[in-house]
Amino acid sequence: MLERVLEPEVMDSAEEAHDYDAMDHTTVNRVFVDDFLAVWDSRDNPLLDVGTGTAQIPIELCRRTPAEVCVVAIDLAEHMLRVGRANIRRAGLDERIDLVLCDAKGMSSQGERFGGVISNSIVHHIPEPRRVLAEMVRVVVPGGLLFVRDLLRPPDETTLAGLVDQYAAGANDHQRKMFADSLHAALTLAEVRALVEGLPFDPSTVRQTSDRHWTWCARR
């Protein structure tokens, strides 16, 4: 099994924010929102998006949900949030998406007030992922929905290189390296299930949902 190699926890340069936002996340974001809406109850509101990056998923989600649905979207990278604010403004969603600079490992200001927590691709950035998963559990209301997705660490370098070639074929060298580094830093299915079981949740609530993703879907 490929060893986990950590990448920087915070992607906080203008270049990283620009290159990340410019990558084609359209299909991945659409599938994330499709899958979330398939299990979402409209009472799971407001929503918290943990590790929002440039706010692409909250924008996609708000475009496809009723006007009363609101999202608080947090990230620790100011450059990402700066791009995200511009994206939200262009989408005309300033009244529904609130971007907040916040450390997902210590969301003390958020409290237990969210009907649902969503997150896409933050877990692989965290050296000790249990901390951020436990915080997601803490801030969701009893019965609230947890919907977390991230990359799977490939079993070997050959598989990793194949995934980069397949899904970042048209990307520049920096974008390809970012994707490869993220795959190196990701967790295996067994590792995520062990973390979830310790929270404690049924480990079977974590499933592999693509050739490069796992998804945790559960209610507190």
Whether 215 is covered by a domain: the verdict is: yes
Provide the domain limits for residue 163.
Answer: 14-219
Whether 72 is covered by a domain: the verdict is: yes
Whether 79 is covered by a domain: the verdict is: yes
- Reading phi first (left if > 0) and then psi (alpha if -120 to 50, else beta), residue 62 is in alpha
- In degrees to the nearest 10, what's the CA dihedral of 33, 150, 179, 65? 10
Whether 4 is covered by a domain: the verdict is: no
Residue 205's Cβ-count burial label (10 Å; 0-12, 13-18, 19+) is: middle
Whether 7 is covered by a domain: the verdict is: no
Q: Per this entry, what is the length of the chain?
A: 220
Whether 9 is covered by a domain: the verdict is: no
Say if residue 46 is preceded by a cis peptide, omega within 30 of 0. Answer: yes
User: What domain count does the chain have?
Assistant: 1
CATH of the domain at 210: 3.40.50.150
**What is the structure's pLDDT at 20?**
79
Whether 40 is covered by a domain: the verdict is: yes
**What is the structure's pLDDT at 109?**
64
Whether 6 is covered by a domain: the verdict is: no
pLDDT (tens place) for every residue of the chain, 220 residues total? 899 999 877 777 787 787 777 777 889 999 999 999 999 998 899 999 999 999 999 999 999 999 999 999 999 999 999 999 999 999 999 999 999 999 999 987 666 689 999 999 999 999 999 999 999 999 999 999 999 999 999 999 999 999 999 999 989 999 899 999 999 999 999 999 999 999 999 999 999 999 999 999 999 9
